[in-house]
């Protein structure tokens, strides 16, 4: 009996480890929809042909609130260059709190709404039971390919203003080679 339980535990641990490996990049973004406070949906496919910075926040997270403020400026500066910022909040009370989050931190500079956790994790290719930190940034090129994805506890987010601008500048260069990065920063 003990050997059977130990075997099951080892198999379960290996399966969890295999599922938690970062998804390879680049990869197709696929469709994603953000539910707005007024009951409409913002579809990612609407912005095909633009560089999209799709972010995922918790409405109560101070780091997310700071990032939302930074992204207001980024949207104003980079919007005319072909960049669109979008945000989906996925904390437990996001549906009820996204309106206040928008008013306080986004100020209607870009579309922000809420999403179920399962939809966010599926889009990110992250196992549903995996612990993640926020904010999460996903850079999607003009062809709809996710080129970079950063989850909140990464070094990339230690200087978000510099790094977000550098990522967008690289993605906006005509004919620039693709620079894909995953959680490990590689």
Interacting residues of 58 by C-beta distance below 8 A, sequence separation 6+ = 64, 89, 90, 91, 94, 134
Task: State the pairing for strand pair 41-43/33-35.
Answer: antiparallel
User: CATH assignment of 25-172, given 3.90.79.10, 3.30.465.10, 3.40.190.10, 3.40.30.10?
Assistant: 3.40.30.10
Residues 36, 87, 138, 153, CA torsion sign:
negative
Query: pLDDT tens digits, the chain, 186 residues: what are they?
Result: 444 333 333 333 333 333 456 689 999 999 999 999 989 999 999 999 999 999 999 999 999 999 999 999 999 999 999 999 999 999 999 999 999 999 999 999 999 999 999 999 999 999 999 999 999 999 999 999 999 999 988 899 999 999 999 999 999 998 754 555 444 443
Note the pLDDT tens digit of each residue in 52-70.
Answer: 999 999 999 999 999 999 9
In order of 14, 34, 54, 156, the CA distances from 102 in angstroms are: 41, 13, 15, 24
In order of 22, 59, 177, the CA distances from 90 in angstroms are: 20, 8, 33
Please give the Cα distance from 136 to 64 (Å, whole number).
9
- Which pair of structure tokens corresponds to residue 109? 């500079």
């Amino acid at each position: 009996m003990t050997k059977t339980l130990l075997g099951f535990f080892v198999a379960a641990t290996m399966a969890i480890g295999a599922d938690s490996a970062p998804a390879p990049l680049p990869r197709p973004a696929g469709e994603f929809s953000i539910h707005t406070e007024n009951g409409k949906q913002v579809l990612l496919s609407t912005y095909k042909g633009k560089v999209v910075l799709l972010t995922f926040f918790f409405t109560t997270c101070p780091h997310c609130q700071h990032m939302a403020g930074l992204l207001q400026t980024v949207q104003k500066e980079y919007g005319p260059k072909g960049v669109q910022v979008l945000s989906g909040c996925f904390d437990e009370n996001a549906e009820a709190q996204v309106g206040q989050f928008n008013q306080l931190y986004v100020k209607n500079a870009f579309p922000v709404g809420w999403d179920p956790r399962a939809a966010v994790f599926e889009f990110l290719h992250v196992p549903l039971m995996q612990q993640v930190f926020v904010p999460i940034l996903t850079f999607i090129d003009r062809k709809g390919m996710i080129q970079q994805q950063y989850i909140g506890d990464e070094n990339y987010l230690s200087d978000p203003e510099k790094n977000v601008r550098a990522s967008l500048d690289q993605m906006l260069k005509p004919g620039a080679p693709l620079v894909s990065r995953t959680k490990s920063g590689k």
